Amino acid sequence: MKNNYDILVIGGGPAGALAAKTAAEAGNSVCIIEKRSAIGTPVRCAEGIGKELLKEFVKPDPRWISADIERARLIAPNGTTISLEQDKAGNEVGYVLDRKVFDRELVWQAAEAGADVIVKTRATEPIMENGAVRGAKVLSAGTPADIRAEVVIAADGTEAQFARRAGLDTVVPLREMMSCAQYLMTDIDIDAGSTDFYLGNDIAPEGYLWVFPKGDRTANVGIGISGRKSRDGSRAKDYLDRFVAKNFPEGKTIEAIAGGVPVCRPLACTVADGLMVAGDAARVVDPITGGGIGNAMYTGRLAAQVASRCIEAGNCSKEALMPYDAEWRASKMGAGIERNYKVKEYFVTLDDAKLNTLAESIANISLKEFSVRALIMELITRNPKLLLELKALKDALS
């Protein structure tokens, strides 16, 4: 094992892969370490992504696309359904990916660009010198080693322990951790062109339940609930089991996974001396949708671009790396997260009656644009009586 690189990337998810690919293409020596023995498994994802977002980073390939989505449906507690159709909205909806293949493809591309990849190798703590990160202490299949680097990009996902051990506060408050469970089910009656989101405090308290098709009669059926609502007897798995027993009693589960989606605000600062944090580890998941694949790829790529410049200039201090933090915060993604965080904070206060009223008010709309923002605008226009209450939402948009 080589033990000195320009850039060391911790974690082989979408954030780490894009970081390593970008860094290698810029001519740096770079290495990804992944603690699991295989890239991409077990999946911790419902695998949905917007088409336009995806295309910013990688050319769509049928090998890792499970389904092409034409509509999304929001189903309120009383069954009121808001259907958002691709042909009515101007923009495209999305894909449901096969992340086992997708994640491997991204890492493969990084390797092809020249990055080293080492699996079953876990970063245990940062190598710190004078308060700066200088690499990582790792356990590679049980054997300890030191890997030194000019910059470490922590893309270690939900766990986010590397940045934490370098002194950043990455702990997710219980109420802002979406506790998730998902079954990949087959032999079920679904609309293979629609991603369905079920809302309601009896269905998924402070979260939602999803059915994302993976092809005909096959779907990711999953749920996320707020950690503060999670207790014995009412955990994510319990809610999911109840839904499945009622809706897909004959379905067969061929994969069962769990996961946690941080829906807190992003880290207060995503850089330190010699360290950058990207993807879920930086807590840049969309707080409303829980979507984080695109944001992970975006922050991973940006981190590597800034790191490359800093390495060339010979200064990898926190100050020098700061343009990364500033740029993603000012980006469309950063603004979207801030807005959707406020929107989420409003939605988690709603009881089922209010959710039903709001859903009914927009049940027959056809949106010109397919986005959370467009949906909120519509809610505000259609509920003049709730103006005062929806003010929080309106402020979030401005």
Partner 1 sequence: MEQWAVAPPGPGAGRDDGAPIRHQEQRFRYCNLYEEHKGFCGTDDNMSTMLRINRDKCGYCGTCVAVCPEDALELIDAYLSLERECIACGICARACPLGALEVVHEE
* Residue numbers at the binding site for partner 1 (CB under 8 A): 35-37, 42, 44, 120, 122, 157-161, 164-165, 170-175, 177, 179-181, 227-228, 230-232, 235-237, 256-260, 262
Burial (0-12, 13-18, 19+ Cβ within 10 Å), 241 = middle
Tell which positions 133-172 bind ligand FAD, by CB under 6 A.
155-159, 161-162
Is 319 a known ligand-binding residue? no
Query: Residue 200 in contact with residue 76, Cβ under 8 Å?
Result: yes
Is 293 a known ligand-binding residue? yes
Least separation in angstroms between residue 100's CB and partner 1 is 15
Closest by CA position to 58, among listed 93, 24, 17: 17
60-68, 168-176, 258-266, 373-381 -> range binding ligand FAD (CB under 6 A)? 258-266
In angstroms and rounded to an integer, the radius of gyration of the C-alpha atoms of the chain is: 21
Q: Which is nearer to ligand FAD, 89 or 278 (CB)?
A: 278
**Amino acid at site 61:** D
Q: Determine how β-strand 143-154 pairs with β-strand 252-262.
A: unpaired
Least separation in angstroms between residue 264's CB and ligand FAD is 13
Least separation in angstroms between residue 32's CB and ligand FAD is 9
Least separation in angstroms between residue 157's CB and partner 1 is 7
Burial (0-12, 13-18, 19+ Cβ within 10 Å), 121 = buried
CA–CA gap between residue 22 and residue 285 (Å, rounded): 21
Q: Which is nearer to partner 1, 261 or 396 (CB)?
A: 261
Which partner, ligand FAD, partner 1, none, binds residue 329 by CB below 5 to 8 Å per kind? none
Closest by CA position to 331, among listed 368, 290, 294: 294
Tell which positions 317-376 bind ligand FAD, by CB under 6 A.
none
Site for ligand FAD contains 10 (CB under 6 A): yes
21-29, 43-51, 68-76, 81-89 -> range binding ligand FAD (CB under 6 A)? 43-51
CA–CA gap between residue 82 and residue 297 (Å, rounded): 30
Is 15 a known ligand-binding residue? yes
Q: Which is nearer to partner 1, 143 or 398 (CB)?
A: 143
Closest by CA position to 44, among listed 288, 292, 395, 248: 292
Closest by CA position to 6, among listed 323, 295, 313, 326: 313
276-284, 318-326, 331-339, 358-366 -> range binding ligand FAD (CB under 6 A)? 276-284
Query: Residue 107 in contact with residue 32, Cβ under 8 Å?
Result: yes
Is 283 a known ligand-binding residue? no
Least separation in angstroms between residue 334's CB and ligand FAD is 15
**What is the contact mask toward ligand FAD in residues 206 to 245, using x (rule: CB under 6 A)?**
----------------x-----------------------
Q: Which is nearer to partner 1, 150 or 176 (CB)?
A: 176
Query: Which residues have C-beta within 8 Å of that of residue 243, sequence separation ≥ 6?
Result: 198, 203, 209, 221, 223
Phi, psi of 10 (to 5 degrees): -100, 115
Which partner, ligand FAD, partner 1, none, binds residue 274 by CB below 5 to 8 Å per kind? none
Tell which positions 87-106 bind ligand FAD, by CB under 6 A.
none
Is 48 a known ligand-binding residue? yes
CA–CA gap between residue 63 and residue 108 (Å, rounded): 14
Tokens of 201: 């405090």
Least separation in angstroms between residue 351's CB and ligand FAD is 25
Tell which positions 165-204 bind ligand FAD, by CB under 6 A.
180, 182
Identified binder of ligand FAD from the candidate list 6, 196, 273, 280, rule CB under 6 A: 280
How many CB atoms neighbour CB 244 within 10 A? 18
Can you say whether residue 79 is alpha, beta or left, with left for phi > 0 and alpha for psi between -120 and 50 degrees? left
Q: Which is nearer to ligand FAD, 156 or 273 (CB)?
A: 156
Q: Which residues bind ligand FAD (CB under 6 A)?
A: 10-16, 33-36, 44-49, 122-123, 155-159, 161-162, 180, 182, 222, 259-261, 279-281, 285, 290-294, 296
